Chain A
Amino acid sequence: LAAAVDSARRPASIPRPPDRYRTFTAVVSWAAPAALILIVVVLFQQAWPSVTRFGLGFFIGTEWNQVTNHFGAAPFIFGTLVTSALALALALPVGIAVAVLLAEPGAQGIRGVLGTGIELLAAIPSVVYGIWALYVLAPWTLLHIETPATDHLASIPFLGGIPRQTSLFTAALVLAVMILPTLSAVSRDVIRAVPRGLRESTFALGATWWETTWKVVLPAARAGLFGATVLALGRALAETVAVAMVIGNRPEIPGSIFSPGYTLAAVIANEFAEATGDVYQGALVELGLVLILVTLTVNVLALLLVRSAQARPSV
């Protein structure tokens, strides 16, 4: 009898047809992870001639010589790190300020205009930033920032030298503009995820707007803001053509931020199409491999930080 009741209760004993649609879409969704893995594998294979020839010395070598087939990545790693760090330093206060305003309850009108503006900033192709930076920003920077700075601050390390239009500093300035949308959009989401109760109770205790923002909301969003910063760093590391147009393309480690330099992405963009020979091409691909492995690591780290910040239970 028990068995009869049980089977009456469970019409599920009729075998369900397999959900072929689910299987199909699941298989299609392999495309994105597969592409990611395939990219790394293919780049590694292409970089092999350079990997076996230079080994770990590739990362500290400062020579970049197509004639003697001697390649070292140090100048490019240096340029990439310096421009990205500078860009981040420049963009951070502005990006967080924009995020604070965008996350603020109320002020609908300003938020609409600001949000559209920031989104457009993200949509402008990097080559358009590049041509603008080359013909408008670089001459202006030379005249109004670099020349006065080198005149008066030459005693400070990294600020001396002969200023140039195309320099690490100009590249950092363009990068700062280009990472601003990522920084402010992600920071906005993170700040919004801070429980409302926290804000309201702080206001109820008599704190001013600034005290609430600076001492309660921003510290509560700390981990997520760090994630947003790291995500923006990833964008800065990966940026190619805008930087290639204004950095001056000189494969050496300069003594000043107002001197020309080079980045990983820029040297690939400029030299790869003309690169001949397995070692030269391999060296360029190895630069690309370094770049993608670093940005992937940085991005995964940042995404995990941002997600954990957004998933926290609300008060």
Chain B
Amino acid sequence: MRRNLWRRFSSTFAMGVVYAFTALALVPLGLVLWFTAVKGLPSVTHLDFFVNAQRPSGIPGGGVANAIVGTAIVVSLASLAAIPIGVLSGIYLAEYGAGRWASWVRLASDVLVGAPSIALGLFAFALVVVPQHHYSAIAASVALSVLMLPVVIRTTEGAVGLIPNGLRESGLALGLPRWRVSLQLILPAAAPGVITGALLAIARAAGETAPVLFTALGNQNLVFDPTRAMSTLPLVVFRDALTPYKDLQQEAWGAALLLMAMVLVINLGSRWVLRRQIRLARQL
């Protein structure tokens, strides 16, 4: 009897420990969100922060417009390459993905997700910066597109795989060729999931620092030419945070808050869309 009491007590105790550890896991999330918001807010409440380019320490009115534009350009160029290739590869895996080759593609993209992002930077440096003899936004896009590719592939495969076979079969029964069934029936049905995957990949790429360090390099001026060096938001955070100047550190916190806000919006939004997609797919 006493033994059973002990067993039940220890089980309850262990469950308490598990809950405590779980709460502990969420503490850093709360702390990071809180400190970024509190320390970043003084920066982002000025309009200058969004419309002016970076200025040296001591000169008021500096902003991160150059980095916002740079992030947009670098990530758009990367998406232009990564999203079409990723979506087509994902479709291949979902539609014809039973064979040996497909399992190699799957393994390669899963491994690529875990590849060190700094190595992707070195890769783009050797591939683009060395032959061109100067740093450029294009080089950064090459690195980021490799980073985005596996994310797009796997989310597309998941989204297309969710579409019930009935839709595919009814298309084929009507005499449509495979490519029309795939691109005009299945892909539109899977669009919310595919777009979500692309957005998640974009969010991840926009937040990366290591691959852009010695490809885009950074640039204090507002430039739109992708063959020139550019700054991105993570670069501003990284470089400014490590300076001894209070005003630049403040700028870094502001840029960090912008990044964080973007990532939060994309992630929470995509969760909502995905849940809706899964519910709709069940109804089909």
B172 in the interface, Cβ–Cβ < 8 Å?
no
Question: Closest chain A residue to B94 by CB distance?
Answer: A25
Q: Chain A: interface secondary structure?
A: helix
CA separation between A30 and B105, bound complex, in Å? 7
Residue-wise interface mask of B (106-123) relative to A, using a CB-CB cutoff of 8 A (1 in contact, 0 not) = 011111101111111111
Instruction: Kindly list chain B residues whose C-beta atoms are within 8 Å of the C-beta of A265.
Output: 116, 118, 210
Interface residue total, chain A, C-beta cutoff 8 A: 82
Give the residue name and chain of the B residue nearest to A128 (CB). Answer: B256
Query: Which residues 115-146 of A have a CB within 8 angstroms of B?
Result: 116-121, 123-132, 134-136
Interface size of B in residues (CB-CB distance below 8 Å): 87
Asked if residues B92 and A295 are in contact (CB atoms below 8 Å), the reply is no
Instruction: Please tell me if the beta carbons of A32 and B108 are within 8 angstroms of each other in the complex.
Output: yes
Report yes or no: A238 in contact with B115, Cβ–Cβ below 8 A: yes
The docked-state distance in angstroms from the alpha carbon of A46 to that of B129 is 13
Other-chain contact of A285, B101, B122, B208 (Cβ < 8 Å): B122
Interface contact tally, CB-CB below 8 A: 255
By beta carbon, the residue of chain A nearest B87 is A28
Near A by CB (< 8 A), chain B positions 207-245 give 207-210, 213-214, 217, 234, 237-238, 241-242
Output the least CB separation between B200 and chain A (Å): 8
| Cβ of A17 to closest chain B Cβ, rounded Å | 9
Q: Which residue of B lies closest to A117 (CB)?
A: B26
Given contacts A21-B177, A210-B10, is CB(A43)–CB(B95) below 8 Å? no
Q: Chain A residues near B26 (CB, 8 Å)?
A: 114, 117, 121
Q: Which residues from chain A sit less than 8 Å from chain B, CB to CB?
A: 19-22, 24-26, 28-33, 35-36, 38-39, 42-43, 45-46, 93-95, 97-98, 100-101, 114, 116-121, 123-132, 134-136, 177, 180, 184, 208-211, 213-214, 231, 234-235, 237-238, 240-241, 245, 265, 268-269, 272-273, 284-285, 288-289, 291-292, 295-296, 298-300, 303
Q: Which 3 A-B pairs have the closest CB atoms?
A: A125-B207, A97-B21, A238-B116
